[in-house]
Chains A and B, each alone.
Chain A
Amino acid sequence: MIELVQTYWVYFLIGQYPKGPLGGLALTVLLAALGLVLALPFGLLLGMARVSPWRWLRWPVTTVAFVVRGTPLLMVVFWAYFFLPSVTGVKTDQFTTMLIALVVFDGIYIGEIVRAGILGVPRGQVESARSLGLGYGRAMRFVVLPQALRSMLPSLVNQFVSTIKETSLGYIIGLAEVSFIASQINTQVFTKPVQVYLVLGLTYFVMCFGLSRFAYWLEARTSRRTLVRSAPKAPA
């Protein structure tokens, strides 16, 4: 086991990097981070569209969200792999394909988080903003979203955990992320599949468990703050 780690740790972490393309754990983290960051604005728009007062906007977005949530991510990856080259005319590499599939898939899920966050803001907040003379857009921007985004933070960290797990599907289209590299190592070593895949599992565990504990802590802190803020003030 020790020998295995000593021989392959650089390959596991960065793939063939200095001599070839970046891979391994670094690629997994890069892909997950880029995927989440790019999906955020997309999800914000989708979430706002899902609670918008205009039917022509709400209905199509709701339908798309329903379709994507009923389909496996792998299906989205396959569609991206097939569609992107025929739409753009350029041969898309595995990284871009996976990134676009992740952005679409996560965007929809973040849209649900945003929707729940907006619906979680007390109705009275919108009503008072509107009666103070703010339009729909400005009430959203200055009153609802700042509160909604704060309550969404723990869910977003959990979404990052899901994204890290989802990047493992890159394996199927031959993207050299950490699961793919682990399988390469397994093929080279040949005699130690249990150890190789245990190390792979442990790697994901350390990242995802750490992040989900962080989300848990954030959530506890947020709910504590809300309690303090909404507590009635003692009479002077």
Chain B
Amino acid sequence: MRLATHPPMPFDYSLLLVGKYHDMLVAGFLLSLQLLAASLMLALPIALVVALLRLAPSAPLRWLGFAYVESIRNIPLLAHMLFWYFGAPELLPEDIKQRLYAGRIEAMSAIVALGLYTAAYMAEDIRSGIRAIPAVQMEAGRALGFGFLATMRRIILPQALRVTIPPLISQTLNLWKGTSIATVIGVAELMYQAGQVESATFRSAESFAFATAAYLTVSMIITGAASWYQHRFPPRAA
């Protein structure tokens, strides 16, 4: 990023409301939202599987879940992005690679990195939600002849969901903030566009104010959703 030192300019709202730069910023905002939605869709099922692995009756499966969670959480998201963008595609066969490079590979890599990263955190939230359900519920299910997975699906998970939703919503907030890191591999999301507008116009305050306001608005909606849920469905004693 280039450094702009200049006398303070009056804040120019028109830049943000109409014209080319407005369109760039809005396009970035929409792409950020798409990244959020797509990686959430990817993260949730993986998180559920990993949480079940971590609670599985067999030790190697538990170890696999542990290895997933720890190896992902102890490496910064930025390093995940770099790996999935620069490294991982090289491992693919030539023809798939060509097709990927022809398409929107940056966005794909960002979604994979964000999805896998968030899944590790969400898996831990789901796991502690499941552990909040008394062990006798599992024992009763098993004694009635349900298998491990059937007991999970029919007895434990429906109860665990209630305590798990609020932490999952706050992980969604982290995911939303994490989408900004996709800038690093050149995904044209909000932070990237704010940087582009800044270097084209030197209007740092305006472009960063737009981005900050947009990030804050979505963060507030997500936080609001969490407190609405907790108010509407307070945790019940199991």
Contacts and interface: CB of A to CB of B under 8 A. Distances in A.
Interface of A: 67, 69-75, 78-79, 81-82, 85-86, 91, 161, 164-166, 168-169, 171-174, 179, 182-183, 186, 193-194, 196-198, 200-201, 204-205, 207-209, 212
Contacts of B191: 72, 74-75, 78
Contacts of B86: 183, 186, 193, 197
A204 B74 contact: yes
A204 B215 contact: no
Contact of A193 (B87, B195, B212): B87
B82 A197 contact: yes
A180 to B, nearest CB: 10
Those 3 A-B pairs whose CB atoms lie nearest each other, nearest first? A70-B219, A208-B74, A165-B76
B82 A71 contact: no
Contacts of B88: 194
B18 interface: no
13 contacts: A70-B177, A70-B216, A75-B191, A78-B191, A82-B4, A86-B8, A164-B76, A165-B75, A172-B183, A201-B75, A204-B74, A205-B70, A205-B75
A75 B1 contact: no
Main secondary structure of the interface of A (DSSP, over half): helix
A204 B79 contact: yes
User: Chain B's interface: helix, strand, loop or mixed, by majority?
Assistant: helix
A71 B90 CA distance: 34
Interface of B: 1, 3-5, 8, 70-71, 73-80, 82-83, 86-88, 90-91, 173, 177-181, 183-184, 191, 194-195, 198, 204-205, 208, 211-212, 215-216, 219-220, 223
B91 A194 contact: yes
A193 B5 contact: no
A56 to B, nearest CB: 23
Contacts of A164: 76
A92 B77 CA distance: 26
A197 B87 CA distance: 7
Given A70-B215, A212-B74, A75 B180 contact: yes
A174 B83 CA distance: 18
B216 A194 contact: no
Contacts of A169: 78, 181
Nearest to B70: A209
B211 A75 contact: yes
Contacts of B208: 75, 78-79, 82
A165 B77 contact: yes
A205 B76 CA distance: 9
Contacts of A67: 216
Contacts of A197: 79, 82-83, 86-87
